[in-house]
Structure 1
């Protein structure tokens, strides 16, 4: 068993490096499909809500990187990893994962449900990378535009259809889990992730309305700290830091007031204003539950 585990770990690293070379940010996964590195903040009281700002590994999808040296370091710190995850929503591909589950016992036909959506909204799923899961389901890889942040969702489109967007990850092909291996569907290995059809994109992330102008009252020290946290982001951290900071701002009730300052800070690091606004809007959706943003 130990020999098999070592072989799986070696293969997982090789697959992860190949994915990183294609511009896909990766992290090591355990056989349970969870991030293989434990949080450096485990056991701290009060709990620390860190998204990698401390600089240490162990923050799940926030560790994802395309740097081969960093990938090797992550896997070296996680010798029991048997798979790898691919972060969604991150440039350059801005991957969107359509997870189609199969559950014959409960009559779930996610493939049929997706086809019904396509017919109703007049779009076609293009040929794209498809990963077959051990349970008989499949992951469709699509790409999104820079001005749209697709949120994660479970069965919102239809029963059995989950979506992995910004802040989520997909189990990469070649990964081995307790339930079996993930593998590329025949004929899709040489394909690139196809652009998400606009009609489907509207279902995944409906257009958001900009918040109404509010009084320009001074932002307290917490807001200034969040702005500085975003301004200090290095390449590979920009989207993650911005999204985290925006979530904290909205959770504390001053997200709208801080949105412009966060946008300026993100643009300072190299993001476009569209990318920054989209990430902030996604944070607002996930933390405030605004009906118009669902």
Structure 2
């Protein structure tokens, strides 16, 4: 390993151990911001629903731990790791991450090479302000992490009996939510695009409780399940969820599939709709294995929301 990487790996472990000491479960990340350890089941013929029960590392956010010895073991198994992820939704903090993306306007070029239009800028910070004004809440003083791309991660905590799902752009364009089953890149992590840093004046703060009005936006009530029969394509048949997945573009296929599968399971039609959702996801470009693994994750999360231990993954 090159010297700069060794130094980055040493710093990543130090930052991860510091976070774990504050009760934040961590995993090692590579420079791509993905979990540094590959799944031990990657060569299995069928996707396995293992979340670490096999005892081997490589289960992504399910490996996250606050135990210093376990943290050191994870990083020893991934000496190329230059960052760390912090699992959301886990006790004691039940962390919720508000990921604000800020991108400047971009010119788009025509086939002839001339500038023809300007794409609208993404200002998630302004969008969050509008949401706060509309729904009468204020973001409290809390930990804020600055991303290399100019965005921000706002750290909040949630109640132990509330499961906040991951989402991308559901609240507003540019606002992504990191909840149960997701993770935030920890400050001090070195990635391909730069280093994540704590915003000045927030490093000494503890994550603040999520305002009630914002929490309600993050956890919309599930529609009551009705066992009544629905005709094909009618309300409750799942046709709209399948169409939602079919409309996905590259970069949002997995997110749309996960959201649709969660809604299907919340409405009691997950198992019956799984094959149709899989076919739709494959049509958009996912492999069948990827699609079924995502649907299985949604099934686990929905089951967790109905009765597993509070704050669990």
* TM tier, smaller: 0.7 to 0.9
The separation in 1 between residues aligned to 2:51 and 2:66, in whole angstroms, is 18
Matched, 1:2 2:2: yes
Residue matched to 2:101: 101
Residue matched to 2:202: 188
Provide, for residues 230-261 of structure 1, a one-character-per-residue CA deviation record: whole Å limited to 9, x for no partner: xxxxxxxxxxxxx9xx99x98546x8xx979x
RMSD of Structure 2 on Structure 1 (CA): 2.8
Label 1:251 to 1:78 Cα distance change in 2 as closer, same or farther (>3 A): farther
1:150 to 164, 184, 193: 164
The separation in 2 between residues aligned to 1:190 and 1:157, in whole angstroms, is 29
Residue matched to 1:49: 49
Label 1:128 to 1:146 Cα distance change in 2 as closer, same or farther (>3 A): same
Label 1:259 to 1:93 Cα distance change in 2 as closer, same or farther (>3 A): closer
Q: How does 1:22-37 map to 2 (within 5 A)?
A: 22-37=22-37
Task: Compare CA radii of gyration and give the structure with the larger one.
Answer: 2
Task: Give the unaligned 5+ runs of structure 2.
Answer: 106-119, 229-261, 273-298
Residue matched to 1:124: 138
Deviation at 1:42, TM superposition (A): 1.1
TM-score normalised per structure 1:
0.74
How many residues are matched? 235
Deviation at 1:213, TM superposition (A): 9.6
Deviation at 1:34, TM superposition (A): 0.1
Q: How does 1:1-294 map to 2 (within 5 A)?
A: 2-105=2-105, 106-208=120-222, 251-252=270-271, 263=307, 266=308, 271=309, 275=310
The separation in 1 between residues aligned to 2:128 and 2:188, in whole angstroms, is 26
Label 1:251 to 1:72 Cα distance change in 2 as closer, same or farther (>3 A): farther
Q: Secondary structure at the match of 2:202?
A: coil
The separation in 1 between residues aligned to 2:155 and 2:122, in whole angstroms, is 21
Deviation at 1:49, TM superposition (A): 3.1
The separation in 2 between residues aligned to 1:43 and 1:259, in whole angstroms, is 27
Residue matched to 1:217: none
Comparing 51-60 with 177-186, greater Cα deviation is found at 51-60
